[in-house]
Amino acid sequence: MRVLLTGANRGLGLEWVRQLAARGETVFATCRQPEKAEALQVLQRRFPDNVKVFPLDVRSQESIAQAVDAVAAHTDALDVLINNAGILFEHERITNLQAEHLEVSFQVNAIGPMMLAKQALPLLQRGKRPVVFNISTMLASLTLKTFSGYYSYSASKAALNMLTRTLAAELRPQEIIVVAVHPGWVRTEMGGPGAPLSPEVSVQGMLRLLDSLTMRHSGRFWTWEGQEHPW
């Protein structure tokens, strides 16, 4: 598989690189500051044929275009785009809610993934069983979000879910699979130390799901364990 991944320098993104490279897949691993991404550099040295690192800030349209050009210089096709980069502002209440946090969240969690899918589409169209794998969250579920907090995060990821569903419908005739996936509550900087899942177990589950995807799965919301998630 030839995989394009965002947010590859830490957390779930770094674990994706580790597991994909260990299996012999090719990973175009992107992050905002590759020169500071020490753990990613270690993986790049360990798997020099499999891990290619490029800069990509998903808030910048210019950066998205440059990253896709750089990937296109190495491959004529992509099989998977994993939109993993994400941002979460803690402790939001209506009294302290900031427009800037809402804006940045929509840029990183919804607009960036969609614009990257747009730019990468020609490469995906030449891929084998192409998949756009959007990392969402249960906090984006309109059905389950009956509690307060996480305004910016939940709303922007719910937008990602709608974009996922709409893109899936448009790309269905081309047999490109588009899914939203909840990775579980995972021990990363975002998930915190009290989360029940390790990145290793979460990515193992998501990789099993990725391997099993067919057109039947497209346009739907899945958990890391491969169960359907309510919108």
Please report, as ranges, the residues that interact with ligand NAP according to CB under 6 A.
6-7, 9-13, 31-32, 56-59, 84-87, 108, 135, 137, 183, 185-186, 188-191, 195
Helix segments in 51-129, DSSP class H: 61-72, 99-106, 112-125
Q: Name the minimum Å distance from CB 192 to ligand NAP.
A: 8
Q: Name the minimum Å distance from CB 213 to ligand NAP.
A: 18
78: region left, alpha or beta (phi > 0 left; psi from -120 to 50 alpha): beta
Strands (E), the chain: 2-5, 26-31, 51-55, 80-83, 131-135, 177-182, 221-223
Q: CB-wise, 124 or 180, nearer to ligand NAP?
A: 180
Q: CB-wise, 70 or 190, nearer to ligand NAP?
A: 190
105: region left, alpha or beta (phi > 0 left; psi from -120 to 50 alpha): alpha
Q: How many CB atoms lie within 10 A of CB 126?
A: 13
Q: CB-wise, 76 or 143, nearer to ligand NAP?
A: 143
Q: CB-wise, 12 or 176, nearer to ligand NAP?
A: 12
Q: Name the minimum Å distance from CB 222 to ligand NAP.
A: 13
Q: Name the minimum Å distance from CB 173 to ligand NAP.
A: 28
Beta bridge partners of 186: 197
